[in-house]
Amino acid sequence: MKMQKSRKRKQLGIDGHSKTPKITTEEPYPSHHRPTPDECRSVRDELLALHGFPAEFLKYRHQRLIKTEPTIDAKSEPLNNNYDDGEESVLDGLVKTVLSQNTTELNSQKAFASLKSAFPTWEDVLAAESKNLENAIRCGGLAPRKASCIKNVLRCLHERKGKLCFEYLRDLSIDEIKAELSNFKGVGPKTVACVLMFNLQQDDFPVDTHVFEIARAIGWVPATADRKKTYLHLNRRIPNKLKFDLNCLLYTHGKLCRKCTMKGSSQQKSARNDDSCPLCTYCKNSSVNKIQ
């Protein structure tokens, strides 16, 4: 059995001679004991009651449910309403995440749709002139940088595997996936974490701007924490079974709640009064570990 696993890893190009960097998993804040499992569950429940589960993430939640509960019938399961349940490829998911950086969700969706319209296959994208690719995704912002990243990923993937497909990642562990994707220039920890959580149905907890700001505001990490250490800390503290729902809900709450992030449009700010945030009982210096 051990020989079979070793042979499979060699076939996937992750044998012991790989030059993949070591993955950092140490605890950055060992004396910071928040969030507790109970606190994570309480926040999840409060945000779920406030927002409902975000429609944009329903298909990914459904895919996770089917994977973890194989007895569920995908056709009859009641969550399968009002959204496209088609499973996107890992490569599609990675490129979508790249396009979502430093822009709105609407603009990133437009950029991906424009990309697919201009170049029907990933082979077409790889063969395209950089300027043509930039023009296709310009509506998503930072077109030169994102086009360069996409082209580099496709080029390296083709050189390493001989085809433009990341589906082999489904056979790897979380640490192996992180090590493998770190070989691709421009693919950072947040992109890797999003691919793990959304496309590979793994238990990981991406830290975007919204999650980071809320985690600091409610004292889940020290006030001096950076994004990298916040990611390491929250992935160790948050129970695996709560990570997906809690992450989606914190992201959604961060887009809407002025009190948690001190951001948002004037329309969003006027839509809620100061007492409407269920996280208002938390503060950076609070020792309270549960929502009252």
DSSP per residue, the chain: -HHHHHHHHHHTT-STT--PPPPP---S-TT---S-HHHHHHHHHHHHHHH-S-GGGHHHHHHHHHHH-TTS-TTT-TT-SSS--PPPPHHHHHHHHHHTTTS-HHHHHHHHHHHHHH-SSHHHHHHS-HHHHHHHHGGGS-HHHHHHHHHHHHHHHHHHHSSS--GGGGGS-HHHHHHHHTTSTT--HHHHHHIIIIIS--------HHHHHHHHHTTSS-TT--HHHHHHHHHHHS-HHHHHHHHHHHHHHHHH-HHHHS---HHHHHHS-TT--TTTT--TT----S--
Report how far Cα 105 is from the mean position of its chain's Cα atoms: 13
Instruction: Give pLDDT, residue 285.
Output: 44
The closest alpha carbon to 218, from 29, 52, 36, 27, belongs to 36
The closest alpha carbon to 214, from 253, 183, 256, 260, belongs to 260
The closest alpha carbon to 209, from 134, 100, 121, 131, belongs to 100
pLDDT tens, residue by residue, 28-37: 999 999 999 9
Q: Please check whether residue 272 is in contact with residue 36, taking contact to mean a CB–CB distance below 8 angstroms.
A: no
> Count of CB atoms within 10 A of residue 123's CB?
13
pLDDT tens, residue by residue, 186-214: 999 999 999 999 999 999 999 999 999 99
Q: Please check whether residue 150 is in contact with residue 125, taking contact to mean a CB–CB distance below 8 angstroms.
A: yes
Q: Please check whether residue 252 is in contact with residue 207, taking contact to mean a CB–CB distance below 8 angstroms.
A: no
What average pLDDT is seen over the chain? 84
Determine, yes or no, domain membership for 148. no
Instruction: Give pLDDT, residue 73.
Output: 54
Catalytically annotated residue among 190, 229, 243, 255: 190
User: What's the predicted TM-score (pTM) here?
Assistant: 0.82
Q: How many folded domains does the chain comprise?
A: 1
> Does residue 2 have an active-site annotation?
no
Overall average pLDDT of the 65-87 stretch: 56
Determine, yes or no, domain membership for 60. yes
pLDDT band at 221 (very low <50, low <70, confident <90, very high): very high
pLDDT tens, residue by residue, 106-162: 999 999 999 999 999 999 999 999 999 999 999 999 999 999 999 999 999 999 999
Determine, yes or no, domain membership for 104. no
Domain of 241, in residue numbers? 30-67+203-261
Query: For the domain that residue 51 is a member of, what is the CATH number?
Result: 1.10.1670.10
Determine, yes or no, domain membership for 42. yes
Determine, yes or no, domain membership for 165. no
Determine, yes or no, domain membership for 221. yes
Determine, yes or no, domain membership for 245. yes
Determine, yes or no, domain membership for 184. no
